[in-house]
Structure 1
Amino acid sequence: MKGSEGFVVLVEFSVKEGRTKEFLELITRHAEASFANETGCLQFDVIEDGNDAHRVFLYEVYADQAAFEAHRTMPQMPTTLAGLEPLIESSRISMHNRFRHPRPTAAVSRRILVTAPALRERHHLLKGLEQAGYELIFAPLDYTPGETELVTMLGGCCAVIAGMESYTRQVFAQCPELRCISRLGVGHEHVDLMAASNAGVAVAVTLGTNNDTVADYVLAAMGLLATRTLDYDAAVRRGEWAPLFHSGLSGAIIGLVGFGRIGRSIAKRCQGFSAEMLVADPNMDPDTVARLGCTLMPLERLLPQVDFLSIQAPLLPSTRQLIGGRELAAMKPGSFLVNVARGELLDETALVSSLRAGHLGGAVLDVFQREPLPANSALLEAPRLILTPHIAGLSETSLDAMARRAVHSLLDVLNGVDPGQGYLLNPEVVEPIAVL
């Protein structure tokens, strides 16, 4: 982002059935060209609605209204509009000279809700908030609260250090004192970002705090699968003492689905094993991927080649059920899979079938379509499957870093300061706030 001041434009599109992929390709090219070539364009994001595959937003920030008017008269604009017209059902645009909270802003409370389960027993990581005079309210839950329960807990709170619960238009409408959602993590598919911005609620994430921890988990998971460590352990406990002739990581072909911070951290580690690394990520260019010794290719070309498949892509409408029965069948017999992204990227039923049929050699899942995992889940009975409770990014070191980042971002926002470096997803909502 080139800056956070200026004239903000929000556009909401309803895309026609079956045209979302085509629409996203066209609008993303337009966004990238605008940001790269127009000095007055400070930010231009394309945002997919995590709950509605046909709903897409443009989130644009310009130096001033004149810069936006210049954008609208760019020579390529008629061609872009003509290309978009047959792909959409409707569109809606709103423009703002910076956001102003549509609620009283003279003062807000000093109560902060903490719903992130990992912090429930680690109050000391949030001492910076208490030292700043805030009262912390810890959600006493072992599950993700629904909308009604969340609204009740948020009553009288100016901010929340959030877990995986959903923040919708209805939540913002019923929580007039809420000023900031500071996510303990990088995923924000459970937050309606457009609704948050319209309500004047800043949304912060903890970028760059746990990618190394997740990458360590993936390497450990692949090592467990390759060496059949758990199988050997079970055999020894049964009194058996014979080799199972396992494989290894050295010289393996490793497929990376998603090449963001986590994917790149995994790639750096895999270099030490002289592994060949293939990458599937539609948002990456070949040169960027090649600089880390990897080869970019479409997913359908990658799958039949790899010995290990690691999934760490974001959850978007375009990535739901990205790995289904057809994709699993395309993988090598005896190959392995690790998922540290979101459960919705993987067809769990198809995975169980593949494992039972003996096609996949094994899998490790840290994320699931339903969390906590239901007691009757078929995953619990699947062979050669290792399950962990969404903890890949939660080492003591990374949790400390995430908590510190969440606290710093929250305090900055409540003091009317943009923490910078991309930690805020909607920095233009920040403005000085008087606190009781």
Structure 2
Amino acid sequence: MEYGKKILVTATNYSLLCSEAKKLLQENGCEVIENPHNRPMTFNELEEIISDIDAVVAGVDTWDESVFKIAPKLKVIARFGVGVDNIDLEKGREYGITVTNAPRLNSNAVAELTVSFILNSLRNTPNLHVSTREGKWERFVGFELKEKNVGLLGFGNIAQSVAKKLQGFDVNVTAYDKYPNQEIADKYNVRFSSCEEILETSDIVSMLLPHMKETHHFMNRDRFGMMKEGSYFINTSRGGLVDENALYEALTSGKLRAAAIDVYEQEPVSPTNPLFHLKNIITTPHTAAETYEVYHSVGLMTAQAIVDHFNGNQPDNIVN
């Protein structure tokens, strides 16, 4: 590799959590420039430095033609995660930019948070935590997960991990997927079904589809209207899959008993988001994949993709 390549890392806490990945880049002659903000970088912030950047380890910032046309040296974007809906893959290809991602490595972490969301929603744990610390001794009668119908919208790596973890809870799991993997479904006692049946019969619906043009606002007013009265909705995939206005209506009308979401239509999310005024929703800041294990493994995979590219080798997991 030619020395002096400048690598911008917009994923946060890189030195702290990805020290081995950073070392790999530096040992291959790269200068690592880290995101100084504890959030995705804005266009104006990228504009100040991108003209001199050769490669990016990208978080969830927006990477489109407005950035590409002012980044003449940019050759690689290694997405720090799986989803690439924040990157214009076609325009990247037109500008000669190779885009990679890091599939499967965050599946366990996201699946664990998904299951915890289900349990905490059923028992109202976050609200009880707050009220107890306020000196109250609130009574809340929740529900057990046992024998509930859990519907998975999507059956990729994360959903498969969720299905595996749910087996010990004695639940009935159904899944909807455009390309069903029957072998894995049989392994975890999952029955494939239509989206409509899942919405109509599930006590808990977990959104685990990828976000693409055809799945944008997949959960809209009509689909929330199909759900069982008093059911639960979980989203640990992407915010764009859900019409937040429709979700708000479903929560305030009583159609949904509660929801838990880790992702939003606009991120970072505004504190004025109407969903934040509701007590029957759990909200976290897109943190499902935030574990030490994920940072370590994804950090190394993305750094290796950049090293491979500049050494003339084809990186793994090219997505464009």
Q: Structure 2-normalised TM-score? A: 0.92
Q: 2:273 aligns with which of 377, 381, 390?
A: 377
Describe how 1:120-139 pairs up with structure 2 within 5 A: 121-122=16-17, 124-125=19-20, 126-139=22-35
Aligned: 1:331 with 2:227: yes
The percent identity for this pair of structures is 28
Task: For residue 175 of structure 1, report the CA deviation from its aligned partner.
Answer: 1.8
The answer on whether the counterparts of 2:17 and 2:296 sit within 8 Å (CA) in structure 1 is no
Q: Mark the runs of 5 or more structure 1 residues left unpaired by the alignment.
A: 1-105, 427-436
Match of 2:117 in 1: 221
Task: For residue 279 of structure 1, report the CA deviation from its aligned partner.
Answer: 0.6
**Is the alpha carbon distance of 1:313 and 1:118 closer, same or farther for their aligned partners in structure 2, counting shifts above 3 Å?**
farther
Aligned-partner residue type, residue 240 of structure 2: E
Aligned: 1:279 with 2:175: yes
SS of 2:213's partner is coil
Distance 1:238 1:146 in 2: 38
Match of 1:167 in 2: 63
Distance 2:93 2:248 in 1: 41
Distance 1:181 1:238 in 2: 47
Match of 1:116 in 2: 11
Aligned-partner residue type, residue 103 of structure 2: L
The answer on whether the counterparts of 1:109 and 1:158 sit within 8 Å (CA) in structure 2 is no
Deviation per residue, 1:349-374 (Å, 9 max, x gap): 12122222222111111000111111
Match of 1:352 in 2: 248
Distance 2:133 2:284 in 1: 22
Describe how 1:28-427 pairs up with structure 2 within 5 A: 109-119=4-14, 121-122=16-17, 124-125=19-20, 126-147=22-43, 149-237=45-133, 239-241=135-137, 243-284=139-180, 286=182, 288-420=184-316, 423-426=317-320
Aligned-partner residue type, residue 112 of structure 1: I
Deviation per residue, 1:324-373 (Å, 9 max, x gap): 12222221222111101111111111212222222211111100011111
Task: For residue 122 of structure 1, report the CA deviation from its aligned partner.
Answer: 3.8
The answer on whether the counterparts of 1:144 and 1:164 sit within 8 Å (CA) in structure 2 is yes
SS of 2:8's partner is strand
Deviation per residue, 1:119-145 (Å, 9 max, x gap): 265462422111222111113234434
Distance 2:277 2:299 in 1: 35
SS of 1:400's partner is helix
SS of 1:290's partner is helix
Q: Does 139-148 or 129-138 show the bigger shift?
A: 139-148
Task: For residue 235 of structure 1, report the CA deviation from its aligned partner.
Answer: 4.5
Task: For residue 185 of structure 1, report the CA deviation from its aligned partner.
Answer: 0.6
**Is the alpha carbon distance of 1:168 and 1:109 closer, same or farther for their aligned partners in structure 2, counting shifts above 3 Å?**
farther
Aligned-partner residue type, residue 11 of structure 2: A
Distance 1:375 1:242 in 2: 27
The answer on whether the counterparts of 2:3 and 2:29 sit within 8 Å (CA) in structure 1 is no
Aligned-partner residue type, residue 339 of structure 1: N
Aligned-partner residue type, residue 229 of structure 2: P
SS of 2:78's partner is strand
Match of 1:101 in 2: none
Aligned-partner residue type, residue 214 of structure 1: V
Aligned positions, number: 319
Deviation per residue, 1:146-180 (Å, 9 max, x gap): 44542432222211111122222343333221121
**Is the alpha carbon distance of 1:278 and 1:403 closer, same or farther for their aligned partners in structure 2, counting shifts above 3 Å?**
same
Distance 2:42 2:195 in 1: 35
SS of 1:279's partner is strand
* Largest Rg, 1 or 2: 1
Aligned-partner residue type, residue 95 of structure 2: A
SS of 1:174's partner is coil
SS of 1:372's partner is coil
Task: For residue 218 of structure 1, report the CA deviation from its aligned partner.
Answer: 0.6
RMSD between aligned alpha carbons? 2.2
